[in-house]
Amino acid sequence: MNASEDVTMVDESVVIRIDSSADPTAMAEDEMVPKYYSNLLQEVLEASDEEEDEEEEEQPQPIQKLPSLTLEGVAKFITETNPKNICFMVGAGISTSAGIPDFRSPGTGLYDNLEKYNLDDPQDIFDIDFFEENPEPFFTLAKELFPEGLKPTLCHYFIKLVEKKGLLKRCFTQNIDSLEYIAGISEEKVVAAHGSHNTSTCRGCGKKFDLDWITGHLNSKSLVPHCDEDLCDGVVKPDIIFFGESLPRRFFLSAIEDAPVCDLLIIMGTSLVVQPFAQLAHEVSDDVPRLLINMTSAGKRKRDMSEKALKYGEEGNIRDVFWQGTCDNGALELATLLGWKDDLNELISTEHERLEHLHGLKKAAALTKSSP
């Protein structure tokens, strides 16, 4: 990457499906990173790599910390070393069981709903210039993507449980579904690399709106939400990152802060092709264990030429583990190996009851408001 390049979302970065984010990760436009700043992470990390190269002769070779390069080995590592700075990198796959289909798949209701707009590519609705010209297609999709009463998955609650155990440093997410927040993971622990709909911002006056406001509006008769300030009436856009917009400043700052201290990296539900998000997997120390839980192989050198690409299944691998399957099943298996299964089930039950209670209160309030 050179200094003239802008870092925006590329490739599959808008896997905006919930099958596959005071919110510090969903910033107003004036808080977004200038284009030049988007290269800061890469420049700082490259400079760090150069310093490491200069001192390479003095540095000991990394050693294998895992008892075995298996999920059992990861569980034993956690049990025996009690790592306090576990970092997660998560993508669309952790939200698969929440039930919203991939909007790009032909034959789905979401895809069919977009056909009337004659889009060359469904992802055009996430282009900021297209949105400014015609926001209606985006909100047609958003109405289906962000329904009321949405519940986090087992995988989300596993991350919350890691936090409750005092072991979570950060959860970096590509998802915009806000399920990390809904699961109760602390806001300071979540970095939504592509923003989220946890908050929204008026494109006219900059007024902020919360999750309840935008979700309620998406379920009303009016499709495109407009600002309620007098003399404004600007379009209110969820604080997700569109193509053509810079990533949040906090993503870069957190990556620089967290990579050196991370003592276990767990990657779930992402194919690791979206930059600069995927770069995070390379930046932890060379002896830090990395666990990938995913339906398919990801992060290998056939797609990623970096020397720090994941090396599971290769000769000389000392730290990388690949568990193939759904994220929910992988998280449940790891929780079981850790002896946390009962804790996880209790957390899910308690949180689902809480969410159902809140949803009931909101429905009752809405009915009261609509009564004559």
Q: Looking up tokens 């008026």, which residue turns up?
A: 202
Q: Looking up tokens 């080995």, which residue turns up?
A: 73
Quote the tokens at residue 348: 């899910």
Catalytic residue among 194, 197, 217, 282: 194
- Closest by alpha carbon to 248, among 199, 287, 209? 199
Distance from CA of residue 67 to its chain's centroid? 30
CA–CA distance, 207 with 204 (Å, rounded to integer):
8
| 194 assigned to active site | yes
Q: Quick one: CA dihedral 124, 128, 129, 130, positive or negative?
A: positive
- Closest by alpha carbon to 128, among 212, 201, 215? 201
Active site residues: 194
